[in-house]
A and B are shown apart, each in its own frame.
Chain A
Amino acid sequence: MKKAELMDYDKALELFEPVLGFEVHVELNTKTKMFCGCANEFGQGANTNTCPTCLGLPGGLPQVNAQAIESSIRLGLALGCEIAEYSRFARKNYFYPDTAKNFQTSQYDEPIAFNGQLTIELESGRLVTVDIERAHMEDDAGKLTHVGGATGRIQGADYSLVDYNRGGVPLVEIVTQMIEGGEADSPEIGRTYVAAIREIVKALGVSNARMEEGNVRCDANVSLRPRGSNVLGTRTETKNVNSLRSVERAVRYEIQRQAALLHAGGTITQETRHWHEDTGITSAGRPKSDADDYRYFPEPDLVPVAPSREWVEELRATLPEPPAARRKRLQADWGFANLEFQDVVNSDLLDAVEATIAAGAAAQAARKWWTGEVARLANVSGVSADSLVQPVQVAALIELVVAGTLTERLARQVLEGVINGEGTPLEVVESRGLAVVSDDGALIAAIDEALAAQPDVLAKIRDGKVQAAGAVIGAVMKAMRGQADAARVRELVLQRAGSTE
């Protein structure tokens, strides 16, 4: 893929004002699909979770998933939206093999939630309020796999396989109003906005919120307008940007690409664009005009959704603390510096650290272990840190260190044991025999032996050259196979050297 001409980012912002818009699709984690009783599960054998309805067989009819309606309302409320008293599904008609019915059952002019607001905080502390136009319900398409051809895309493929397991999975599509005034922060606004949505759906428990599995997918709209103009530029829609970092990169790339093109006298084509994670560029997809005609009309197979005000208020009462407020509270409670706290948030370890502290660990120790050794081991095995070990185990480990049973170095070995499934930290300590040797008698015997073996060192210590004790400490630690508290050994070495005087 040829890399497009890019303009220097600062220069692009000098000449143009970026205008953004995001469509975030959230896959709900309901037990069954949006309009039928098939299991909503990731990673089953192809076309196993299907039935006449989600396969679009003749005679199949949809039934609305009540849990999906509830999740959508809660999500709408968490985004500060109004919940429609009367909401309808509509058919969005287009032919494509991954859409079993050749129409998507979506919502058009009567979405379940509308007019919301979400305030996000950038790393600089700048607060940006994103207006939410609507959050509507719809069903997901199946998954196409293009076989043959070099790119894995439909162009050049020999044939394509369709798996309808995902077809009919409930989605909520959250659409923002235009975001103006983002300026140089625009890419970060994209990342932070999507992160905030992800945090909210996770806190609500309405989605598994794993971007790598496509639970949260972002389409990023970017357009530029020349400084001093109030006419909107032509936008592009970069589809399915599926990591937070990619959202940021894709927005930045589009700003630089469009600026170069416009500055050279070119025009932007209104189109969808594909994001290429590996090369960090976007490429042209299909042209998309505002006149794309999906021939929407109210879905005649479904009755309107009219949630009672009482129910909406009941659901409002179930909303968790907003993630942004929770972060503020936790940072204050824990007394973390901004960088320390950001480290935890960016590593997606807020829940793990909170649970570890709740299990009795000191805040700083919890932070240090999770963002340090646990994160390192997780990185090595390519999994998320919070999937590696339970917070309660980390808390137990910290407790052993605090009690002096383990040194930091020993504790790291115990952690590996816990991760290997050898049991609780205490069980690993016992089975591996890793506890610190706190029997002074054994230490003194080893120290006396080491001092006797190195009379020159003993002499230096007695001359007041205390740093010479290092050699003896090293020998003792070696003799104890590391299972001694080095500080205690040092204390005892100095004591023995003095006492034999």
Chain B
Amino acid sequence: MRIELRDIRKYFGPVKANDGINLVLEGGRIYGLLGENGAGKSTLMKILSGYQPPDTGEILFDDQIQHFSSPADALGKGIGMLYQDPLDVPAFSVNDNYLLGRDQRIVLDYKNASHELQEMTARFGFELDLQSRIENLSLGERQQLELARLLVGGAQVLILDEPTTGISAEQKEVLFGSMRKLAREEGKTLILVSHKLDEVQELCDEALVLQRGKLVGQTDIPCPNEKLVKMMFGQVPERSARPDFDLGEVVLELIDLRVPTYRLTIKDINLTIRQGEIFGFAGLEGSGQRLVLQACAGLLQPDHGKILLDGQDVSSWPYHRMQNAGVGYVADGRLEEGLVAGLTIEEHVELAKPKHSFFINRKVLFAITETKIEQFQIVGRPDSTADELSGGNQQRLLFALLRDNQKSILLENPTRGLDVRSSNWIWDQLNHRREGGTAILFMSSDLDEIFERSDRIAVFSGGNMSRVLETVNTSVEEIGHLIGGQA
């Protein structure tokens, strides 16, 4: 199917999310849609998949003008969208979730549903427990189910929004394999929305670049990464160099640490981290790296072993005591754990102060907040609430709330979902902190980030930590092996 977008415009107040986009997509090809945060990718894809109508402009399938009344209508006409957070019902069984909205008969036919699902999963090599409930599946598995649902629903065009965030390397391979199959063998049109240039390079035939609501570039793949980055940003941002740095005293020491949790127990963790060191935890999501960070932050209690901070045993200290002792923690879920959605920037600044008085001095607070906003380049006003900010600005706010002179900062996926420029900014801040002697521990699902930023690396697999690797003496292959659980 040939899809044509003609002069698509969508404005939100003064913001021109899509500002006259013209585009032709051919069947049998995989397109990569690139752009900075807020470039208009999501808006365009929502318009194409029937979630919102454009203000002006037309969508044509094989030269026929189309109007979508709803996403279900769009799927009926052949366009399916796979969201980063799959649109399924967590409380449902796999079968119920599959059948919802599909079967028009009143009494459900589970036999048939299981049969269709099995056929589908076998065709694409998905491995799924069909007896399970959706909430017990991994993100990658939920994605596979959504994909199956969209395809059975008759999707000729598939839009995938950041599909590789949070899924395992194997699941990514399976996903990419099935995407290639769909394009090459079945002639479907695929659109990959992504931040990750290597994925676009690996998978796509053509890259489309949006900037400020306009289509600014279109190029065949493969092409040099620099070319893509140039189209996205107008210039190639300097990868912030990692300055050589002499390490200082030991800050944090973990001895035979064991932390049991309901799902997973980590054990025998031995680590020594020095002032000014950047230490990266690699591994699949849920392999235990987050538990170590949470134990160091005082959020989880080890049942064996010790955590030493400047030589002092802090194993049983709770979070607030650790915070006051100079250990900062930046959680992954910005709105879930880090920020309070309905509170303003100003109120966050007040809450994060080490000492509180009963009454709030509004004037002083306003001044402090304004300086922070400027210093940390947050796009927002002192009275903007946290949930009004974009992901990148929420992360900036979290950094603005970190206290000065930390002994150690612990971070979960510090740049997840951020564009290259914001990521660099975050790391500039962190490098600046390390120069002041702060030890930095972070986990990331982005291997490139681990390689580029850390001095030393540890890999987690099923709750076990590998030996500690010097970044300069290791390779992606070695880390890959360790992630897969091979010693």
Same assembly: no
State the A residues within 8 Å of B (CB). Answer: none
